[in-house]
Structures are given as structure tokens and as C-alpha cells.
Structure 1
Amino acid sequence: MASIVIAQTTVIDEAKAYEIAQGAVEARLSAAADVEARMTLFHWHNGRMRHERGYRVFFTTTAERVADLEAWVRERHPYDVPQWIVLPAAGTTEGYLARVVQETASGRHSS
């Protein structure tokens, strides 16, 4: 039985966040993608603490499609080592699960 997962990444460029989100849905790798409002990111880079403004992109997909989504995002992501976190989506309704499976089925389109 299929299951839903939420995958996420971050980027500092708003246009790139929108591009990745929209492209993943158009490619049928994600049933939906949400770009979270601008936030502040703190992280280490080359031995220095950095903070910068950024955007989190959440992808709703299936456990079966998440590896394909990850490979697709990595090809388009501006970072050498992008954040990639996958979380199970517990408690989803059967109707929503069916929709996500349908929307991410390769080559299939819903009305």
C-alpha cells in the first residue's frame, strides 16, 4: 500500500524556490509543493557561521516516488549538498492518499 511523505529543501533564492516547486509538480514527482514564506537560515559554511534569508520548499509525494523526486531536485538545486529531509505523513485520509498517488503516477494526469 502506498504512503505519503513530505520532503523538504531550502534555497536562498525566491525565484529558484518557485521554479523547483512548480517543476516538481509539473514533472508529476510531487502532487503539491509549497514554498514557505521567507525565513532566516543559520548554518555553517566553510568553517564560518552564516545567516541568510531563504525559502523552504515542501513536497507532497509518495514513498515510492521520493527517490525520483530527490534525484530531480538535486539536478536543479543550486547547492552542492542541499538540505533534503523526508518525513512520513501519518494520519492522511484515504481520499487524499489516492489523489497523491494519482498525481504522482508517471505519465498519468487527473482532471
Structure 2
Amino acid sequence: MARSLDGLVLAPVADQAPGQVGTRTRFTYHEQDGAVWAEYAGGDVVRGRLVGTREGDRLDFRYVQLKTDGGTSSGHCVSTVVDLPDGRVRLDETWEWESRRGSGTSVVEQVTAHGH
């Protein structure tokens, strides 16, 4: 199993649709006893939170976010934790909005101190 996500900072590798998370968004993850949660912000997101569970290399969580235009939105995401060859962590995500229409996939990768 991949290592704990606790304390890791991850960022999307590509921008999503306008008004959603993008490469300027940063997710700070926490993990304890099978629970995962994170705060995120940046780009079009003023403040976001996610909370859920981890079983093995599978995350299952819901997220809610406040955007710069004052709108809020929420959804459900299932992610697979992948260990990268350079020792960083990647999450392969499949998500679906619950507060509005839409779904998709995204990839976030660990951000290291020297900017990768």
C-alpha cells in the first residue's frame, strides 16, 4: 500500500473546466485511522474541503467548495493512490458533481518543496 497521505500537498496536473480546480489549486491532505480529509484553495476556489475514507489504495470522499464568484458546489469522488517512480504520490480521480450536472476525471500529484 502507498504511504500515508498525511501532510502531503497535491496539485492538479491540468486545468479543469473554467471555475473549477486547476493547476493553481493546492490540496493539503490529512489521514488518520482510515479517514482522509483535506483543505484546498487557489485559482477559482476560495475555500474547499473534502472528507472521506481510505481502504488500501482507494479513496472515497465528498467535497464542497466556495468559488470566487460566491457560488458553492459539492460532489463525490473516488481516487486511486499511485506511488510515482520519483517517490511522490499521484491520485487518479473520478468525480461527479452532486449539486449540479457534470462528471469527469482528473489527476493530482504531490508538490515537493522544490516545486515539482
TM-score normalised to the size of structure 2? 0.28
- Structure ranking higher on relative contact order (CA contacts 8 Å, 6+ apart): 1
TM-score, normalised relative to structure 1 = 0.29
Larger Rg: 1 or 2? 1
The structure carrying a bigger strand percent of its residues is 2
Structure number with higher helix proportion: 1
